[in-house]
Amino acid sequence: MQASFGEIQKIVDHIETNFDREITAHEIELLSHYSYRNFQRVFFKIFNETVSGFQKRLKLENSYKKLIYTEDKISEIAWQVGYDNIQSFSKAFKKQFSVSPVEARKQKQDVFRQFIENGSPNLKFEIKYKDEVIVYCKFIKTKDYHNAEIDALWKEIEPEDEIFESAYGIIHDQPLITNRFHCRYGAAVTYDNDLKGFLKKEIFGRKYVKFTHYGLYEHILGTYRSFYRFWLSEQSLLLDNSDVIEEYTETESGEKVTHIYFPLYE
């Protein structure tokens, strides 16, 4: 089987959108136009896990985010991510993370403690609604959101002069929860026509807490640390488990600016 990464990503995007329900082999065959067995081989070669294993991991990682980002009842979270009962959810969760859902919620400060210990408490932010934007994306798996791999992806997309009106980064995973080798990053651009080899999708279309990083992208972790320090102290600010979006721009003087949008729980 020969398949481009773009074709695989289309199926991955479908699985991500529907992680909370069973996706059948027949459904994947219709979407990919390949046998499920052959698709599984290609998927495993690219992602180093089976389709079912990938979907199960998405369920549990999204539930972990809901546990620490929201105040929803654990039984409701189990149902939201596709488990019929809290017993099977709790068993799967503990097997994946070595703590129970109850313990994970109680220990949410511990998840961030090591990451934020050197962060600055000063942070300017705003709450705003962002209209939907249609973008064209390419995705990579990147260990711990490694900057060199992200830079290489952008150089592949825009090797010379900037040709796209807007540029965004799609942060699929919470690296303090997701295994460092499974983190996924999407480079997204706006364009007037369809782009071959890119996945077309919508981003935004909801309310966000927005904060800004000034300067080189390689120093952006410091700004994320500041945000998490602020968020942990602001108990009323509930977050959603969907993608974090980075918007890349620059000032009139040429300083690099990254606006970071964390989705708010609605």
136 and 29 together in one domain:
no
Query: Is residue 53 assigned to a domain?
Result: yes
Report the DSSP pairing between strands 199-203 and 125-130: unpaired
- Predicted local confidence at residue 34, as pLDDT: 84
E strands in the chain = 125-130, 133-141, 167-171, 184-189, 199-203, 206-214, 244-250, 256-263
Q: Taking residues 82-107, report their average pLDDT.
A: 96
152 and 241 together in one domain:
yes
Amino acid at 232: L
64 and 130 together in one domain:
no
The region of weakest confidence among 7-11, 53-57, 67-71, 237-241 is: 7-11
- Predicted local confidence at residue 45, as pLDDT: 86
189 and 68 together in one domain:
no
Amino acid at 215: G
- Predicted local confidence at residue 26, as pLDDT: 92
Q: Taking residues 123-149, report their average pLDDT.
A: 90
- What are 218's two structure tokens? 């390689």
- Predicted local confidence at residue 190, as pLDDT: 94
Query: Is residue 113 assigned to a domain?
Result: no
Q: Taking residues 175-203, report their average pLDDT.
A: 90
Task: Band the pLDDT of 258: cuts 50, 70, 90.
Answer: very high
CATH number at residue 56: 1.10.10.60
Give the residue carrying structure tokens 């199960």. 56
Backbone angles phi, psi at 101, to 5 degrees: -55, -40
Question: In the predicted model, what is the mean pLDDT of the chain?
Answer: 90
Task: Band the pLDDT of 2: cuts 50, 70, 90.
Answer: very low
- Give the residue numbers spanning the domain of 191: 125-263
Task: Band the pLDDT of 162: cuts 50, 70, 90.
Answer: low
CA-CA distance, 91 to 97, in Å (whole number)? 10
Q: Taking residues 218-246, report their average pLDDT.
A: 90
176 and 52 together in one domain:
no
139 and 255 together in one domain:
yes
Query: Is residue 233 assigned to a domain?
Result: yes
Query: Is residue 111 assigned to a domain?
Result: no
pTM, rounded to two decimals:
0.90
- Predicted local confidence at residue 10, as pLDDT: 84
85 and 175 together in one domain:
no
Q: How confident is the model over 3-15, as pLDDT tens digits?
A: 556 668 888 889 9
- Predicted local confidence at residue 204, as pLDDT: 97
40 and 133 together in one domain:
no
Pick 120 or 69 by higher pLDDT. 69
Query: Is residue 29 assigned to a domain?
Result: yes
Inform me whether the pLDDT recorded for 247 exceeds 90. yes
**Domain endpoint, select from 56, 74, 106:** 106
CA-CA distance, 26 to 36, in Å (whole number)? 7
Give the residue carrying structure tokens 């700004």. 223
CATH number at residue 240: 3.20.80.10
Asked if residues 23 and 55 have their Cβ atoms less than 8 Å apart, the reply is: yes
Our count of domains for the chain comes to 2
Pick 115 or 129 by higher pLDDT. 129
Query: Is residue 59 assigned to a domain?
Result: yes
Inform me whether the pLDDT recorded for 235 exceeds 80. no
32 and 141 together in one domain:
no
Ranked by mean pLDDT, which of 158-162, 225-229, 235-239 comes out on top?
225-229
